[in-house]
Structures are given as C-alpha cells and as structure tokens.
C-alpha cells in the first residue's frame, strides 16, 4: 500500500529523479527531444533544494511504496490563474515514477492534495495538463476531474506547450 506524507528538503533528490524520469518517459513526442535530453538530475535537484520545504499555503507530498521507495509527488496550493476566485486551489504538479504507473500511487497523491486544499479552505481545484497528454487526461477524468474549457500556452523547461485546464469540486 502507498503511504503519502509531506516532502522535506532531504527528499529533493528523490523528487528530482521522479521529475526527470517521468518527463523522459511520458513526454517524448509531446515536447522536443532536445528538451528531454537536456534535463539533468543535478539541475533538478538544485531546483528542488531551492524550494523545499514548501510552506502553507504551498504543499508538497510524496508517496512511498511499502519498501520505503519514493514513487511519486504532488504539489498544490492556491490557484495561479489570475482570474480565479480565492476559493480555488490548484494541483501544480503530479508525477509518478513510470514503474509505479497503475499502482494507485497517482490516486493516493491526488486524494492527499485534494484533502489538503479542502483543509486550507478551498472549495474547488484546477490543474493544467498538456493538451496532447492523453494518458494524463484519461487519469484525471477517471478521478472525477473534467476539462472546463480553459486553455493556455505555457513554458516548461524552455519550450512553449499547449495546456488544458481541468476542474474538480472539493
């Protein structure tokens, strides 16, 4: 069974590994190969060390399998959408180690983030997903999230990508 708890600065290496591994497995064909090849564990660790630990209203949770291996993470907090009401939270990122896809890890992380956002006083949450990431969109729909018609272009790892917004009542 997956356990979920708050991430600390000591988890930076594990979170960076999951971030890089997930991008390199899930995003070929969705972002340029040169971007994926340029992602390094060292750079990702530095980024995570700079932001951890997150402080309310920002949160980061990690998932561990029964053997104690970190298998995924989720970041959440207030919505970053300029026009969102103050009652809207956001799932900023959710990544699961590719070897743990289909194990319930993603659902456990999403559930933890939703519970935290509700505890923080939010009544609904949004998230942004790559427009062409069919696998992630299927996952979110199975978890009760729905696209709300919002779209944007955003920059990730130096490349502009099209994203769609999903919404869920808490």
Could you tell me the pLDDT band of residue 143, with boundaries at 50, 70 and 90? very high
pTM: 0.95
Which pLDDT value is given to residue 159? Answer: 80
- Please state which CATH number belongs to domain 3-169: 3.40.630.30
What's the whole-number average pLDDT of the chain? 95
* Cα–Cα dist 135/150, whole Å: 19
Over residues 47-64, the pLDDT tens digits come to 999 999 888 999 999 999
* Cα–Cα dist 35/39, whole Å: 7
Task: State how beta strands 88-96 and 124-130 pair.
Answer: parallel
Over residues 87-110, the pLDDT tens digits come to 999 999 999 999 999 999 999 999
Could you tell me the pLDDT band of residue 130, with boundaries at 50, 70 and 90? very high
């Amino acid at each position: 069974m997956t356990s979920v708890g708050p991430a600390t600065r000591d988890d930076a290496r594990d979170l960076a590994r999951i971030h890089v591994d997930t991008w390199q497995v899930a995003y070929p064909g969705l972002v340029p190969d040169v971007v994926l090849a340029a992602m390094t564990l060292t750079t990702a660790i530095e980024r995570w060390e700079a932001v951890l630990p997150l402080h309310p209203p920002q949160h980061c949770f990690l998932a561990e399998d029964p053997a104690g291996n970190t298998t995924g993470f989720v970041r959440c907090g207030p919505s970053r959408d300029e026009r969102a009401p103050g009652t809207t939270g956001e799932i900023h990122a959710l990544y699961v180690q590719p070897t743990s896809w289909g194990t319930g890890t993603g659902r456990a992380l999403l559930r933890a983030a939703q519970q935290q956002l509700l505890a923080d006083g939010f009544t609904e949450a949004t998230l942004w997903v790559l427009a062409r990431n069919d696998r992630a969109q299927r996952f979110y729909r199975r978890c009760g999230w729905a696209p709300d018609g919002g779209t944007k272009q955003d920059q990730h790892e130096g490349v502009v990508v099209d994203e769609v917004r999903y919404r869920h009542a808490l």
